[in-house]
Structure 1
Amino acid sequence: MTHRQHQKSRTRAFPLLILAIATLTLVVLLQRVRAPVQLSPQEDTSFQKGMSYAAWWSGQYSEPGADLSLELLASTGANWIGLVVTGYQETYTSTTVDFTQESTPTDADLVHVIEYAHGLGLRVMLKPHLDLPNEGEGEYWRGDIGSGFTSEAEWSAWFASYRAFIEHYARLAQTHSVDQFCVGTELLGTTHRDDDWRAVIAGVRAIYDGPIVYAALHGGEEASITWWDAVDYIGVDGYYPLVAESSEEPTVEELEAGWETPKATLANLSATYGKPILLTELGYRSQRRCSCYPWDWWTEGPVDLEEQANAYEAAFRQLYDQPWLGGIFWWTWLPDRFESGPCDNGYSPHLKPAEDVLRAWYGGPPRPPQPIFSADYDRAMDIYVDGFAPGWQDWSWNAVVNTAPADQRKRRAQPLQVELDPWGALSLWHPAFTSGQYHWLEFYVRGSSSSQPDLVVFFDAEDGTRLSPVPVNDCRHMEGGTINAGTWKRVRIPLSDLNAPGLDLTRLSIQNGSSEDRASFWIDDIRLVGATETGTIGEPAPDGQPMADCG
């Protein structure tokens, strides 16, 4: 993939029989598995229960929040990650691959993930990608690389540069005990060059001694490659359309029917070469018609959590027991766990019904119950409530901060009017204090007619550590997830989301998350607030009262 719920469990839940009929139990077991007897993927650790793990900027893999995101990935029952690192070439006719840009994760980033993943019991497939800088609808993309070459000299130059790129990561994989290596992804404009790709693979094998896979694009490339015998797994990025564009709210059964032709293609490919298939990518956005255009990452549409979950369920039902399938790597899980969630229309299943489907089939535990909290304003610390509270100072940068004029206060006594340059921040400092008695950071915010601010929040700890930034524009933190002009909205962010519970803190920053646009907004009633847990989602509210906030 380019940058830009219900369970049908595989676990063979045989009836529990008493010891007196143990012999009968054995007969029943043998009748209910395929011949020859083989374990289900939940029981067979050789089956790659994978998740793609992707970042497109240096440093993202090494941020503190990324480690937590990887832990959450591991909790789904996944036993593999497909670790993505992306190099670039300037145009589809360029012959030089560059993997030194800031948009390429560093080697140190990759080593951090490899070691942390291994510590969590995850195996790692390193999966280098090659992209063009501005891929999108109607633009050239990696699949066009090579289609503009007109001479053997261009082909020779490109393959030499590509080999330097891929062998760099093969050496990293060998040095750091990576469990599997992908030699290329969706380079369908080049894969007709049989001898050249055999040379690429031979060069990697001279460096790296683990299993090798190539990730072909669905819909033609997977069937056209002639050198599958040279790799250990036949990799397919399986974004096959499952229903027609006219299909509205497809059921799981309708989506299952869409797998009939792709399954036959994959089974035949496996039989022809005598090698297992890896779905090196498989994914659906949580967006309407995701099952019609699974590959479409650029078109915006309404969030549809159910269609994504149904597509996951249909794929598992149709594919998971196939004897030719060696594993699935779902696209995708992100280091920033706030890039997914119930209002997100992207590919990640995290905090969506699709995650529940994934956990059920991968054998992970259900997501833990979500507690419900009621605010306790007797345990609150004011930061700015119609004026700065004692001890708080304005340490903002690239910002203009004033008390809002009376005609713009919109029923609030004395809010702050804030103008932030790109990356500027309203930053408020206080001598170190403990946050242990507080549950939320709370404030009220209103946008202006001149901008739709994209804000992030973070604390600095007493030792100077900058804690993880968290988006304000998120439906888990604010109704609707957007800051609107003319409307005050309450924002509540759990300190646990900010990696701040119990820490000694000194500074709160509310930053413009844009590198290009100014942010204009009003803000008031900034405080830390305590809370009392009153139940969990799904339980009746005490004394018949409505439930308070979750998170």
Structure 2
Amino acid sequence: MPVRLYGAVVLVLLLTAGCVSPAAAPVTPVATSRTPAPAKVAHPWRPGDPQLGAQILWYAYPGETDASVRADALRLVNYMVRRQMNAMSVTFPFTTTGPTASRVAASSGTPSVRHLAMLLDTAAAAGLRITVRPLLDEKSLLAKDPLAWRGSLAPADRAAWFRSYEAFLAPCLTLAARHHASTFVLGVELTSLEDDPGWRTLITAARKRFTGELSYDANWDDYVSRHVPVPVEHLGVDAYFPLDGLGDEATVAQIAAGWEHWLDRKSTGTLPRIVLSEVGIIAEDGAYRHPAVWKGGGQGGAKPNPTVQKRWFEAACQVARARDMAGLYWWNLDFHADPDAAAPSDSLTSFLGRPAETALTSCFRTWPR
């Protein structure tokens, strides 16, 4: 169960349906002529190629403007091209009022459709493959129950929850269809709801708006313990496999063997239909034992350890390539980050400015295509 801090973002709950802020405009093509053209991907993704990218995590801030969004989008897309990526996934939050609530909605952290379109258009102009990925924020869940998370939802009225979710996703799906997305992730780590028949109705509705690939991202423990019954075309795995027996001195080979052990619990051999949708770890001592726990900045008292993070990235790359996986996305790039200004003293949850950054670039540069 991933437990992460996304920064000091105050989320004011806006119980308005839709992937859109109250003042956002309808989905229309967004001109970017005032912004320089992005760099071009050297080897654009083609069907059958691995998706090699990163998750851009976007919590909207008050005061974002068209100009600031275009500048942030251009900076990150150019960084991704320099780091040998051919794919981008944008993760953004939506919210609910508690673990048993029967409604979901946009929050103040949900970017507007207009601003999301600017990022998607910039990525498309660079030749990046695009995935759109709404993620249920856990802040309101934890306020009601410190053990709650998005995988333990228990809506009082499940049918109403799925109707509300369908209404929220509708403009997101239209956005994805009109702005070059190849994949739409219909759900992320919603473990307790995966058996619900509401998914079939949701998928039927989604197909009317988006004709690309529909996907679902399962939590790591859910993936290995059972069949994930959400009836989508492809499955992603948020890969935070705990390696209890490994200390900070573990080699890349030992970490890779630990990953293989976890994956073998599900199936052996190649996994050409599986995407590692999140691969990340905090750069501190002890992280191999609990990679899903992101305390941030040494708040748990552990010492910073960039080598732990670097070796985790190298092992994940090795395993994904050996298993012929459909892709790998590093977690994460903050939409507002400046990768060129990042320093190792910044948050330990980031790979920017650390040896792991070189490891991910090497991984993608040498991955057969």
Which residue does the alignment assign to 1:189?
192
User: Does structure 2 retain, via aligned residues, the 8 Å contact 1:215–1:234?
Assistant: yes
Which residue does the alignment assign to 1:350?
352
Which residue does the alignment assign to 2:257?
257
The 5 Å alignment of 1:414-493 reads none
CA 1:243 to 1:345, structure 2 compared with 1: closer, same or farther past 3 Å?
Answer: farther
Distance in 2 between the 1:252 and 1:226 partners?
29
Which residue does the alignment assign to 2:99?
92
1:239-276 deviations in Å (ceiling 9; x for gaps): 111343x72332222212211222214545987xxx71
CA 1:42 to 1:303, structure 2 compared with 1: closer, same or farther past 3 Å?
Answer: farther
Which residue does the alignment assign to 2:41?
none
Offset of residue 155 of structure 1: 0.9
Offset of residue 223 of structure 1: 4.3
Out of 215, 218, 221, the position equivalent to 1:216 is 218
Out of 157, 171, 177, the position equivalent to 2:174 is 171
The 5 Å alignment of 1:73-472 reads 73-99=80-106, 101-134=107-140, 138-146=146-154, 149=155, 154-193=157-196, 195-221=197-223, 223-228=225-230, 230-244=231-245, 247-267=247-267, 276-298=273-295, 300=299, 301-323=302-324, 325-338=325-338, 340-363=342-365
TM-score by length of 2: 0.77
Offset of residue 335 of structure 1: 2.3
Which residue does the alignment assign to 1:53?
56
Identity of aligned residues (%): 24
1:55-113 deviations in Å (ceiling 9; x for gaps): 212438816244213311221111111101211001111111111x3211111221011
Distance in 2 between the 1:248 and 1:3 partners?
23
Offset of residue 305 of structure 1: 0.8
CA 1:65 to 1:131, structure 2 compared with 1: closer, same or farther past 3 Å?
Answer: closer
Report the AA paired with residue 263 of structure 2: K
By percentage of residues, which structure has more helix? 2
User: Does structure 2 retain, via aligned residues, the 8 Å contact 1:167–1:204?
Assistant: yes
Report the AA paired with residue 243 of structure 2: L
User: Does structure 1 retain, via aligned residues, the 8 Å contact 2:99–2:141?
Assistant: no
Offset of residue 123 of structure 1: 1.2
Distance in 1 between the 2:118 and 2:303 partners?
36
CA 1:321 to 1:141, structure 2 compared with 1: closer, same or farther past 3 Å?
Answer: same
Secondary structure at 2:94 match in 1: strand
Counting matched residue pairs gives 316
CA 1:236 to 1:45, structure 2 compared with 1: closer, same or farther past 3 Å?
Answer: same
Secondary structure at 1:259 match in 2: helix
CA 1:311 to 1:242, structure 2 compared with 1: closer, same or farther past 3 Å?
Answer: same
Which residue does the alignment assign to 1:479?
none
User: Does structure 2 retain, via aligned residues, the 8 Å contact 1:309–1:353?
Assistant: yes
User: Does structure 1 retain, via aligned residues, the 8 Å contact 2:104–2:164?
Assistant: yes
Q: Quick check: which has more Rg, 1 or 2?
A: 1
Runs of 4+ in 1 over 6 A off after TM superposition: 41-45
TM-score by length of 1: 0.53
Report the AA paired with residue 304 of structure 1: N
CA 1:130 to 1:236, structure 2 compared with 1: closer, same or farther past 3 Å?
Answer: same
CA 1:326 to 1:204, structure 2 compared with 1: closer, same or farther past 3 Å?
Answer: same
Offset of residue 184 of structure 1: 0.4
Distance in 2 between the 1:63 and 1:288 partners?
37
Report the AA paired with residue 242 of structure 1: L
CA 1:132 to 1:90, structure 2 compared with 1: closer, same or farther past 3 Å?
Answer: farther
Which has the higher mean CA deviation after the structures are superposed, 61-70 or 195-204? 61-70
Offset of residue 298 of structure 1: 2.7
Offset of residue 357 of structure 1: 0.7
User: Does structure 1 retain, via aligned residues, the 8 Å contact 2:276–2:329?
Assistant: yes
Pairwise CA RMSD: 2.8
CA 1:65 to 1:172, structure 2 compared with 1: closer, same or farther past 3 Å?
Answer: closer
User: Does structure 1 retain, via aligned residues, the 8 Å contact 2:55–2:333?
Assistant: yes
Report the AA paired with residue 178 of structure 1: A
Offset of residue 317 of structure 1: 1.6
1:448-485 deviations in Å (ceiling 9; x for gaps): xxxxxxxxxxxxxxxxxxxxxxxxxxxxxxxxxxxxxx
By percentage of residues, which structure has more strand? 1
Distance in 1 between the 2:210 and 2:360 partners?
31
Secondary structure at 2:193 match in 1: coil
Distance in 2 between the 1:293 and 1:116 partners?
36
Report the AA paired with residue 168 of structure 2: F
